[in-house]
Amino acid sequence: MSTMNEKITEELRQKARQLLESGRVAAFLGYASGSVPMVMRPFVARTPEDADRLEWNSFCVLNLANYLPALLKSFEPPRRPNEPPPQGPLPKVGVVATGCWSRNMVVQIQENQVERERLVIIGISSRGMVDRKKVQALIAHRDVTAVKEGDNTLVVAGPGFEEEINRWDVVRDNCKSCVHPDPVIFDDMIGELKGERDLPDRFSQVEEIEALSAQERWKWFTSEIQSCIRCYACRNACPLCYCPTCFVDDSRPQWVGKSIDSVDTAIFHILRAYHCAGRCTDCGSCESACPMGIRMRILTKKLQKDVLQLYGIEAGMSVQEPLPLTTYKKDDPQDFILTESLKGEKK
Partner 1 sequence: MNETERKQGEWEPKIIAFLCNWCSYAGADLAGVSRYQYPPSLRIVRVPCSGRVSANMILDALRSGADGVLVSGCHPGDCHYISGNYYARRRFAILKRFLEFVGIESDRVNFSWISASEGEQFAQVATEVTERVKRLGPARHLVKEF
Binding stretches for partner 1 (CB under 8 A):
206, 209-210, 214-222, 247, 253, 255, 257, 261, 263-264, 266-267, 270-271, 273-274, 277-278, 299, 302-303, 306-307, 310-311, 324-326, 328-330, 332-334, 336-340, 342
Kindly calculate the radius of gyration of the chain based on its CA atoms and give it in whole angstroms: 22
DSSP letters spanning 247-283: TTT--TT--S-SS--HHHHHHHHHHHHHTTTTT----
115: Cβ contacts below 8 Å, ≥ 6 apart: 72, 109
- In the complex, the smallest distance separating the C-beta of residue 281 from partner 1, rounded to whole angstroms, is 16
CB of 212 to partner 1, least distance (A): 8
Q: How big, in percent rounded to 5, are the helix, strand and coil portions of the chain?
A: 40, 15, 50
Nearer to partner 1, 54 or 248 (CB): 248
d(CA 32, CA 55): 5
Q: How far is the CB of 257 from partner 1 (least distance, A)?
A: 6
- Backbone torsions φ then ψ of 86, nearest 5 degrees: -65, 150
Minimum CB distance to partner 1 smaller for 171 or for 298: 298
CB atoms within 10 A of CB 7: 14
The smaller minimum CB distance to partner 1, of residues 75 and 221, is found at 221
- CA 313, CA 275: separation in Å to the nearest integer? 16
Number of Cβ within a 10 Å radius of residue 18? 15
Nearest to partner 1 of 80, 330 (CB atom): 330
In the bound complex, what is the minimum distance in angstroms from residue 43's beta carbon to partner 1?
A: 36
Please state at what angle helix 214-225 crosses helix 262-274, rounded to 10 degrees.
Answer: 100
In this complex, which beta carbon is closest to partner 1, that of residue 82 or of residue 223? Answer: 223
Which of 168, 328 has the CB closer to partner 1? 328
To partner 1, the closest distance from the beta carbon of 226 in angstroms equals 13
Q: Which is nearer to partner 1, 180 or 302 (CB)?
A: 302
The Cα 312–Cα 308 span in angstroms is: 4
Question: CB 271 → partner 1: shortest distance, Å?
Answer: 6
Alpha-carbon span 34 to 63, nearest angstrom: 16
User: Which is nearest to 210 in space by CA: 129, 303, 287?
Assistant: 303
Rounded to a whole number of angstroms, the minimum distance from the CB of residue 336 to partner 1 is 5
Asked, as a colleague might, if the bond just before 253 is cis with ω within 30 of 0, I would say: yes
